[in-house]
Amino acid sequence: MSVPSQPDVLVSTEWVAAHLSDPQVRIVESDEDRALYTQGHVPGAVEIDWAVDLQCPIVRDYIDRAAFERLCAERGIANDTTVVFYGDKNNWWACYAFWVFKLYGHADCRIMDGGRKRWELDGRAWSGERVSYPRTTYTAHEQDGSIRALRDEVLNHCRAGKQLLDVRSPEEYRGERMHMPDYPNEGAVRGGHVPGAVNVPWPLNCREDGTFKPVKELEKMYLRELKMKRRSPTIAYCRIGERSSLTWFVLKYLLGFGSVKNYDGSWLEWGNAVRVPIAKGAEPGSIVAAGGPAPTVLA
Amino acid sequence: MTGVRQRLDELVAEFADLDGREKLELLVDFANGLPALSPDYEARKSQEDRRVHECQTPVFLWTESDSGAARLVAEVAPEAPTVKGFVAVLAEAINGRPIVEVAAISDDVLDRMGLAAVLGILRTRGLRAIVARVKRGFAERAAAAG
């Protein structure tokens, strides 16, 4: 039996095309490559960039509440605006931006299924015009801790043996992909995964055209094959929390999981943290097997 | 005839004066100007390991020498216009100049273009890897030529 998900949260390119001039709707593009938006975007869409707009330039954190309010005001987004996110790479940055909007309690967020790829495949028009909207007044909520996991919480979660998903590639999960010639060190000093984490690479959520797989297929994978429970608290992570926001979106909004958090610190924090246990190889492993000093230092 | 360093300085100055949006627009212009691979290189792509593995998006680079004159041949996936534009900027500065001059490209070219503020730290690191790869490729050419 299916738990009711929230199908309205996914909109088609057709829906978006019909709402291009709807003042109640703001379309937001978020990309891996910012120049894609410059090259051509959905007519009327504004851009919100994960690195430049959503991250605090000083502390490794998101922009604070006041900065988020300014961002929304500048993009012409009001508290009651329906915000539709889309982007490249199967919408992973779109899901990331969606997640940050939910973090600050924005009520009505949607994802345009398939993102840029589907818009292109559907033969819809791109616009290179500069877009601006009248400034709004925006009031954000305090951060919603129910969708964000910080390191110590992940450690406790891991010690309790609760559902943990690593959505990176199998090579990253096993700890094989670490260092390449000339590679600028943006990675971690250790390779592997959080002990107990199951590897479900994020592309398994998507189809070739960039859209999400049908709910029935996703249920088959997560619930029947991986035996995950909708009611068990779940944490997802990747390298910096972008790919895992996509998996977070799938679990929470398409499959109706009750408690899912994104660990945005992800491997770039975990794989660098001192005395935090890791597991290597293809097996999830456990925190006990990971050895090392008792991790109570972080409790 | 202007050298690589001076040519690059001119290009850097063009970028440095622009605001963020204009910088991206200029990169897109450069990206559009990067020629497609000739059939010869297209065929070599599958036979030679020319992929820049440090980049998340597919980038293939050849650092060629035509009797000592540098020629950067590149293919960058269309889904990465920033990278494509940046490679086109490098090609414009380098092509036709003596390969030994390529070593003069300073590693802070991205900072001077003002791209770090537009792209963020992680993305500019990928571009830095391309600069390193290009310089190393031509340095190997120069060493081989004695």
B22, B27, B59: best to mutate for the A interface, most A CBs within 10 A: B27
Per the structure, the complete domain to which residue A106 belongs is given by: 7-121
Of B53, B56, B123, the CB nearest to A51: B123
Residues A39 and A175 in one domain: no
Reported as a pLDDT band with limits 50, 70 and 90, residue A186 is low
Candidates A72, A109, A206, A238; catalytic one: A238
B91-107 average pLDDT score: 92
Tell me, what's the pLDDT at A297?
Answer: 41
d(CA A235, CA A247): 10
Residue A2 sits at the chain B interface (C-beta within 8 Å): no
Contacts for A148 with CB less than 8 Å, ≥ 6 apart: A103, A261, A262, A263, A264
pLDDT in tens, A269-290: 999 999 999 999 999 998 876 6
Q: Which of A121, A138, A168 is the last residue of a domain?
A: A121
Residues A64 and A195 in one domain: no
Tell me, what's the pLDDT at A290?
Answer: 61
Of A34, A38, A51, the CB nearest to B122: A51
Q: Percent of chain A having pLDDT more than 90?
A: 86
The answer to whether the beta carbons of residues A149 and A227 sit under 8 Å apart is no
The answer to whether the beta carbons of residues A131 and A124 sit under 8 Å apart is no
Q: Report the residue of chain A nearest B32, measured CA to CA.
A: A39
- Number of structural domains chain A divides into: 2
pLDDT(A181) > 50: no
Q: Report the residue of chain A nearest B134, measured CA to CA.
A: A182
Tell me, what's the pLDDT at A177?
Answer: 74
CB contact under 8 A, B56 and A32: yes
Residues A155 and A271 in one domain: yes
Q: Which of A70, A104, A121 is the last residue of a domain?
A: A121
Which positions in chain B have a beta carbon within 8 angstroms of at least one beta carbon in chain A? 20-21, 24-25, 27-28, 31, 53-54, 56-57, 79-83, 85, 117-123, 125-126, 128-129, 132-133, 136
pLDDT(A298) > 80: no
Residue A180 sits at the chain B interface (C-beta within 8 Å): yes
Reported as a pLDDT band with limits 50, 70 and 90, residue A4 is very low
- ipTM, two decimals: 0.90
Does residue A145 lie in a domain region?
A: no
Does residue A172 lie in a domain region?
A: yes
A39, A41, A46, A127: best to mutate for the B interface, most B CBs within 10 A: A39
Residues A115 and A155 in one domain: no
Residues A107 and A167 in one domain: no
CB atoms within 10 A of CB A68: 23
Contacts of B119 in chain A (CB under 8 A): 34, 51-52
pLDDT in tens, B38-50: 999 999 988 888 8
Q: A residues 71-100 near B, CB within 8 Å?
A: 88-89
B90-118 average pLDDT score: 91
pLDDT(A113) > 50: yes
Residue A29 sits at the chain B interface (C-beta within 8 Å): no
Residues A175 and A117 in one domain: no
Tell me, what's the pLDDT at A5?
Answer: 52
Min Cα separation A52/chain B (Å): 6
Q: Percent of chain B having pLDDT more than 70?
A: 98
Tell me, what's the pLDDT at A3?
Answer: 46
pLDDT in tens, B5-32: 999 999 999 999 999 999 999 999 999 9
Q: Report the residue of chain B nearest A60, measured CA to CA.
A: B121
Tell me, what's the pLDDT at A119?
Answer: 98
In angstroms, the Cα distances linking B49 to A160, B90, B136 are: 46, 21, 15
pLDDT(B124) > 80: yes
Of A52, A89, A180, the CB nearest to B120: A52
Residue A169 sits at the chain B interface (C-beta within 8 Å): no
Predicted TM-score (pTM) of this structure: 0.92
Residues A198 and A255 in one domain: yes
Tell me, what's the pLDDT at B48?
Answer: 87
pLDDT(A180) > 60: no
pLDDT in tens, A202-260: 999 999 999 999 999 999 999 999 999 999 999 999 999 999 999 999 999 999 999 99
pLDDT in tens, B45-73: 888 888 887 667 789 999 999 999 999 99
Tell me, what's the pLDDT at A178?
Answer: 63
Of A36, A88, A180, the CB nearest to B54: A180
A41 forms beta bridges with: A127
B67-88 average pLDDT score: 95
Give the SS3 label for residue B108. coil
Does residue A187 lie in a domain region?
A: yes
Which segment of A170-179, A255-264, B100-109 scores lowest on mean pLDDT?
A170-179
Give the SS3 label for residue B26. helix
Catalytic residue status for A72: no
Does residue A136 lie in a domain region?
A: no
DSSP output for B27-91: HHHHHHHSPPPPHHHHHHHTTS--B-TTSSS-EEEEEEEETTEEEEEEEE-TT-HHHHHHHHHHH
Residues A81 and A179 in one domain: no
Burial label, A246 (beta-carbon count in 10 A; 0-12, 13-18, 19+): buried
Of B24, B117, B125, the CB nearest to A35: B24
Number of residue pairs across A and B with CB atoms under 8 Å? Answer: 68
Domains and CATH numbers, chain B: 4-144 (3.90.1010.10)
Mean pLDDT (chain A, rounded):
92
